[in-house]
């Protein structure tokens, strides 16, 4: 046998690698792009939007199995472009590698029509406004069946029939009709939210599910979700040099048991991002009942070069150049708008019949209004509460506990007289309150009484009723946000110790101090590593009383280590929570009326005054209507 023939035979026998046929390659690729009927709707609608459509109609039959039809009034295509559109990697959106770094269109990969044509019967009709006739293209399983002219209005008509007709395994894996239809409806709803300037008509089996005219974003949300839910939304607007956030978040009482009403858009592209979803959820800070999820519709605008949308063929996953900056921006923006609304739980008694007897049961409900207005106290207080240094104020609490005494009447503790250090008789309290109500200590003429109950809770009058505040968690919230601000601004307030304090630690605590040394410094701890598991405390935060520096530092480290959420919370956030918890005024500390005023004023200056960093409620509100009912006035 000649040598050349032998070599050729060996090559033919040994070769295992071959190039797939185009039809087979298209079917494989279609599995990534066209996963279900909703994927087809998404790709076709994105093409319509990129074509500049102002009106889009979607018609579905048998949940997309029999027919998916999309009609738009966009710019249309020429005959040559219509043919090329069904070729793999054929697109009008990008042309150079630089274009891939600055994508502003929804589509760009050039895979959608080729993938759809590989697994369905597709009919395309399209016409540009400058053309007299339109073009008809029919594709079945990647094979061209018809190419002709047609008379039609400018725009594009595309019908996808018998989806997955040549891939029965894929068709068999489709879910029930209701499930597939729900997925399609979700896609159309997302697009309608993102593009309120477009008119949308959506039909399923000759039933009109959506018929939306071009409106503002606010009216679009009303059309989709109803007036009642729109009234439960809060506007989010925030911008810096890096990005802009615009949209709405739901008030906690309107949360749902699923994530279905959560819409996140990057440059108007719907995406799924766990980090940003966590930022929104974290902003609610336990305002939600366990297992409930908030509504939000947020659009983040940023330079396309700062985000990569070419991560997956579905184009629903993105990667940010600086994900932590986006996370912090979203967290801050949502937390700010939530903090500006009143979410203090109201307390009421509900009468229930039990075995013929009427029983009162407590009922708590979150109500959302503007922040409650705290009227200024008519009591003459020798301090400007807005300028008072809260850290110096509470630094003396423990020292003053044994020095101050107040008289008690039953379970109530009455405030200290502003001019003396002695307890105030009950008669004088009532007389002073009555005088204040007549003279008017505020513009509205309302008097404000400040009370401390069991050295734990502060009672304060507000316009809508009575506010009960937990002094410890209130101070904890103030310190927590103060520490976070110091982290951001790198401006710690440190009081230097006259005599440095040497502390012997365990090996694990010493390692933790070494790891957190820079962050501890931003809180206000000036801690130097001395070696051999020894640290030297040279300065402490202004909120820590001198003499407690070693105990507070140890408590902060213990709290930091015991934080059960340490896997999901940033280290600085954990440290801020730990310090706030241990440095805050404690239950049992007696406060003067001045101190209570300062505490309330600074509490309502925080971004989220209604829950502490660990999720405990800071306050409970009893509406005046409930008091009237209890005293038979209603």
Domain edges within the chain: 22-208, 217-339, 353-634
* Band of pLDDT at residue 599, cut at 50, 70 and 90: confident
How deeply is 236 buried, as exposed, middle or buried, from its count of CB atoms within 10 A (0-12, 13-18, 19+)?
A: buried
Query: Distance of CA 351 to CAs 340, 345, 358, Å?
Result: 33, 19, 6
* Band of pLDDT at residue 266, cut at 50, 70 and 90: very high
* β-pair partners for 412: 409
Of 71, 34, 33, the closest CA to residue 53 belongs to 71
* Residue 3 CB partners (closer than 8 Å, separation 6+): none
Which range, of 77-86, 233-242, 397-406, 458-467, averages the lowest pLDDT? 397-406
* CA–CA gap between residue 218 and residue 235 (Å, rounded): 10
Higher confidence at residue 565 or residue 118?
A: 118
Q: What SS3 string covers 544-575? A: CCCCCHHHHHHHHHHHHHHCCCCCCCCHHHHH
| Residue 618, pLDDT score | 85
CB 467 within 8 A of CB 516: no
* CA–CA gap between residue 470 and residue 473 (Å, rounded): 6
Average per-residue pLDDT for the chain: 77
| Residue 594, pLDDT score | 82
* CA–CA gap between residue 271 and residue 250 (Å, rounded): 19
How deeply is 393 buried, as exposed, middle or buried, from its count of CB atoms within 10 A (0-12, 13-18, 19+)?
A: buried
| Residue 7, pLDDT score | 53
Higher confidence at residue 368 or residue 70?
A: 70
Residue 291 has pLDDT above 70, yes or no: yes
| Residue 494, pLDDT score | 78
* Band of pLDDT at residue 439, cut at 50, 70 and 90: very low
CB 463 within 8 A of CB 446: yes
Which range, of 186-200, 293-307, 509-523, 571-585, averages the lowest pLDDT? 571-585
Torsion of CA 189, 194, 199, 204, to 10 degrees: -20
pLDDT in tens, 93-108: 666 767 667 677 887 7
Counting residues of the chain whose pLDDT is more than 90, the rounded percentage is 28
Residue 57 has pLDDT above 80, yes or no: yes
CB 154 within 8 A of CB 55: no
Which range, of 241-255, 420-434, 551-565, averages the lowest pLDDT? 420-434
Which range, of 82-91, 167-176, 243-252, 304-313, averages the lowest pLDDT? 304-313
Exposure of 88 in the CB half-sphere (CA atoms within 13 A): 13
Of 575, 366, 560, the closest CA to residue 482 belongs to 575
Query: Distance of CA 58 to CAs 178, 192, 322, Å?
Result: 17, 12, 37
Query: Distance of CA 585 to CAs 408, 434, 484, 581, 598, Å?
Result: 22, 31, 19, 9, 13
* CA–CA gap between residue 528 and residue 548 (Å, rounded): 17
Note whether 22-208 and 217-339 share their fold.
Answer: no
* CA–CA gap between residue 455 and residue 404 (Å, rounded): 12
| Residue 270, pLDDT score | 92
Which range, of 69-73, 130-134, 426-430, averages the lowest pLDDT? 426-430
| Residue 542, pLDDT score | 73
- Give the dihedral sign, CA 16/21/27/31: positive
Which of the listed ranges 160-169, 315-324, 382-391, 436-445 does the model predict with the highest average pLDDT?
Answer: 160-169
Which range, of 72-76, 146-150, 172-176, averages the lowest pLDDT? 172-176
| Residue 505, pLDDT score | 80
Cβ-based neighbour number of residue 143 at 10 Å: 10
* Residue 356 CB partners (closer than 8 Å, separation 6+): none
* CA–CA gap between residue 162 and residue 582 (Å, rounded): 66
| Residue 344, pLDDT score | 57
Of 500, 504, 502, 513, the closest CA to residue 533 belongs to 504
- Across the range 404-431, mean pLDDT stands at 37
Residue 190 has pLDDT above 90, yes or no: yes
- Across the range 222-249, mean pLDDT stands at 91
| Residue 354, pLDDT score | 46
* Band of pLDDT at residue 219, cut at 50, 70 and 90: very high
* Band of pLDDT at residue 286, cut at 50, 70 and 90: low
- The model carries a pTM of 0.61
* CA–CA gap between residue 404 and residue 386 (Å, rounded): 24
Q: Euclidean distance between the first and final Cα of the chain, in Å?
A: 113
CB 397 within 8 A of CB 390: no
Return the DSSP state at 15.
Answer: -
* Band of pLDDT at residue 381, cut at 50, 70 and 90: very low
* CA–CA gap between residue 118 and residue 28 (Å, rounded): 9
| Residue 408, pLDDT score | 37
Q: What SS3 string covers 322-390? A: CHHHHHHHHHHHHHHHHHCEECCEEEEEEEEEECCEEEEEEEEEECCEECCCCCCCCCCCCCCCCCCCH
| Residue 201, pLDDT score | 96
* Band of pLDDT at residue 378, cut at 50, 70 and 90: very low
| Residue 313, pLDDT score | 65
Class of domain 217-339: alpha beta
Residue 447 has pLDDT above 60, yes or no: no
* Residue 425 CB partners (closer than 8 Å, separation 6+): 407
Residue 122 has pLDDT above 80, yes or no: yes
Higher confidence at residue 539 or residue 97?
A: 539
- Which of these CATH numbers, 3.30.565.10, 3.50.50.60, 3.20.20.70, 2.60.40.10, describes 22-208? 3.30.565.10
| Residue 456, pLDDT score | 86
| Residue 92, pLDDT score | 73
Residue 144 has pLDDT above 50, yes or no: yes
Q: In 128-173, where do the E strands start and end? A: 134-140, 143-150, 155-161
Residue 431 has pLDDT above 50, yes or no: no
| Residue 298, pLDDT score | 96
CB 231 within 8 A of CB 219: no
- Give the dihedral sign, CA 591/614/247/306: positive
| Residue 249, pLDDT score | 94
Which range, of 257-266, 440-449, 611-620, averages the lowest pLDDT? 440-449
Which of the listed ranges 121-125, 176-180, 518-522, 539-543 does the model predict with the highest average pLDDT?
Answer: 121-125
């Amino acid at each position: 046998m000649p040598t050349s023939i032998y070599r050729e035979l060996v090559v033919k026998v040994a070769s295992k690698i071959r190039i797939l046929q185009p039809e087979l390659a298209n079917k494989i690729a279609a599995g990534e792009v066209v996963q279900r009927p909703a994927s087809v709707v998404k790709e076709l609608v994105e093409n319509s939007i990129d074509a500049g459509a102002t009106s889009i109609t979607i018609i579905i039959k048998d949940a997309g199995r029999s027919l998916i039809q999309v009609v738009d009034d966009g710019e249309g295509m020429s005959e040559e472009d219509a043919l090329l559109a069904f070729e793999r990697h054929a697109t009008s959106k990008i042309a150079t590698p630089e274009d891939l770094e600055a994508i502003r269109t929804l589509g760009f990969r050039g895979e959608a029509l080729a993938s759809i044509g590989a697994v369905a019967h597709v009919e395309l009709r399209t016409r540009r406004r400058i053309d007299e006739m339109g073009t008809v293209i029919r594709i079945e399983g990647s094979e061209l069946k018809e190419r002709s002219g047609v008379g039609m209005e400018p725009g594009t008509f595309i019908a996808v029939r018998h989806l997955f007709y040549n891939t029965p395994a894929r068709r068999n894996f489709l879910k029930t009709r209701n499930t597939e239809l729900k997925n399609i409806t979700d896609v159309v709803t997302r697009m309608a939210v993102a593009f309120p300037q477009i008119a949308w008509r959506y039909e399923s089996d000759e039933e009109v599910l959506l018929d939306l005219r071009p409106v503002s974003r606010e009216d679009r949300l009303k059309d989709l979700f109803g007036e009642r839910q729109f009234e439960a939304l809060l506007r989010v607007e925030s911008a810096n040099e890096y990005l802009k956030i615009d949209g709405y978040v739901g008030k906690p009482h309107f949360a749902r048991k699923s994530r279905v009403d959560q819409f996140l858009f990057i440059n108007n592209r719907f995406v799924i991002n766990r980090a940003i979803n966590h930022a929104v959820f974290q902003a609610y800070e336990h305002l939600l009942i366990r297992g409930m999820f908030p509504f939000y519709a947020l659009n983040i605008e940023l330079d396309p070069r700062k985000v990569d949308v070419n991560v997956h063929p579905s184009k629903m996953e993105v990667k940010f150049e600086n994900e932590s900056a986006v996370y912090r921006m979203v967290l801050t923006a949502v937390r700010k708008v939530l903090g500006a609304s009143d979410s203090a739980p109201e307390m009421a008694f509900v009468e229930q019949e039990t075995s013929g007897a009427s029983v009162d049961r407590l009922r708590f409900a979150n109500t959302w209004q503007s922040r409650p207005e705290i009227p200024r106290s008519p009591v003459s207080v020798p301090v400007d509460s807005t300028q008072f240094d809260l850290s110096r104020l509470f630094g003396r609490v423990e020292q003053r506990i044994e020095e101050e005494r107040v008289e008690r009447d039953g379970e109530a503790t009455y405030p200290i007289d502003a001019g003396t250090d002695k307890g105030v008789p009950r008669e004088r309290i009532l007389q002073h309150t009555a005088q204040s109500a007549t003279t008017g200590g505020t513009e509205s003429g309302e008097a404000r009484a400040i009370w401390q109950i069991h050295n734990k809770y502060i009672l304060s009058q507000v316009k809508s009723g009575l506010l009960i505040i937990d002094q410890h968690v209130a101070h904890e919230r103030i310190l927590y946000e103060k520490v976070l601000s110091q982290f951001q601004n790198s401006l710690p307030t440190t009081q230097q110790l006259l005599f440095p304090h040497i502390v012997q630690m365990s090996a694990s605590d010493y390692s933790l101090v070494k790891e957190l040394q820079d962050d501890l410094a931003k809180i206000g701890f000036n801690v130097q590593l001395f070696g051999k598991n020894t640290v030297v405390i040279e300065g402490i935060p202004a909120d820590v009383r001198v003499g407690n520096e070693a105990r507070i530092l140890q408590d902060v480290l213990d709290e930091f280590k015991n934080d059960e959420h340490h896997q999901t919370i940033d280290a600085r956030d954990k440290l801020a929570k730990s310090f706030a918890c241990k440095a805050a005024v404690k239950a049992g500390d007696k406060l003067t009326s001045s101190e209570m005023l300062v505490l309330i004023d600074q509490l309502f200056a925080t971004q989220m005054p209604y829950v502490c960093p660990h999720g405990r409620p800071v306050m409970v509100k009893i509406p005046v209507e409930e008091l009237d009912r209890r005293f038979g006035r209603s």
